[in-house]
Structure 1
């Protein structure tokens, strides 16, 4: 699987502990009454030496409790859908679909926990990372086995009551940075948004 899908396949993002009033208030404002999200993203992936490996853009949608959809538009189309039981990863140019049970990394995802904030304190240690570039930052560290969370640490950047940035460092030191825009809170999304059926003629890997 290409690394461009790694973050989406893991699902990623969330919080706990004691943070500054500014950062925590931004988080609380964003998650209050939140059951679903729909927006756009620009994602950059850097290797452990800080060199840019990949840049992509697309759309993200989430719905409580465990549904998500990452749809990459550039540089080439890819689709990741989690329907609550199975994660589907479709790479059209390879005519390949990978499927696997939806496991711990999705349950521990920072983004997934945004729509289920009751899990934050149980799953993450959160520290105030201060203000930078006009954002209030929270540092998230998985509790227990970091490997099962799919990442070593994550930072969430908030502004004006909204999530603007996410930075995630994986076990190998690779860093993924995501800028979010155009968030729609609790949108009315068709049920088909979080369902997937492999098209005819593609190879399906896994079970």
Structure 2
């Protein structure tokens, strides 16, 4: 009898696991379809950066805009102004108070597992990660635990919260190899927001120090 119960429990567990896998596959397909079908979106953001060594936490707030195919304008207002522009040909990260601007290649930034890869829809969840659904999501959202199939120093574990109504990512939390946390929450999300090509172009003002990607070891976009 005990053996039969054990087998039955094992079969029920397999069935539940299979059902969850099917649900996750369906959800990730909906997310991918949403990001591919929309023209743009805008949102306010709150970003929490936590240093694993010092335990210090910094909170940044601002606004971001996304437009197809993978254009992003990310403006931080608090605690200090910072502008990140992912354009067609280059990525610029500008710091007005320092009067400096850093230039990256688009492939370098969107090709690695950074926050920008999630926001641009370039992260293929089902292909890039082993996925499990977490039980502690708030109402109307699904929380996913993402373990990269190929870990990078910048991402060893992530969590993603998905709006069940829009199939949009509303929060992403990334942990790197050192245990540092980059946690981004989006609010006031507007789908198919009005954008202009000028929003995704950037030219450093006169007097700015400009650093190309060979000198970017210390500051890489998140």
TM-score by length of 2: 0.72
Larger Rg: 2
Deviation at 1:44, TM superposition (A): 0.9
Query: Aligned to 2:52, what secondary structure does the other structure show?
Result: coil
1:37-91 alpha-carbon deviations (Å, 9 max, x no partner) = 2111011111226934211100111222221121101111000111133110100
- Do residues 36 (structure 1) and 40 (structure 2) align? yes
Show structure 1 runs of 5+ residues with no match: 1-17
| d(CA) in 1 for partners of 2:210, 2:152 | 29
Match of 2:176 among 170, 190, 199: 170
Higher relative contact order (CA 8 A, sep 6+): 1
Decide which structure has greater strand share. 1
Conserved 8 A contact 2:24-2:131: no
- Do residues 67 (structure 1) and 71 (structure 2) align? yes
The alignment yields a C-alpha RMSD, in angstroms, of 2.9
Query: Aligned to 2:136, what secondary structure does the other structure show?
Result: strand
Q: 1:10: which partner in 2?
A: none
Conserved 8 A contact 2:142-2:164: no
Q: 1:195: which partner in 2?
A: 201
Show structure 2 runs of 5+ residues with no match: 1-19, 214-222
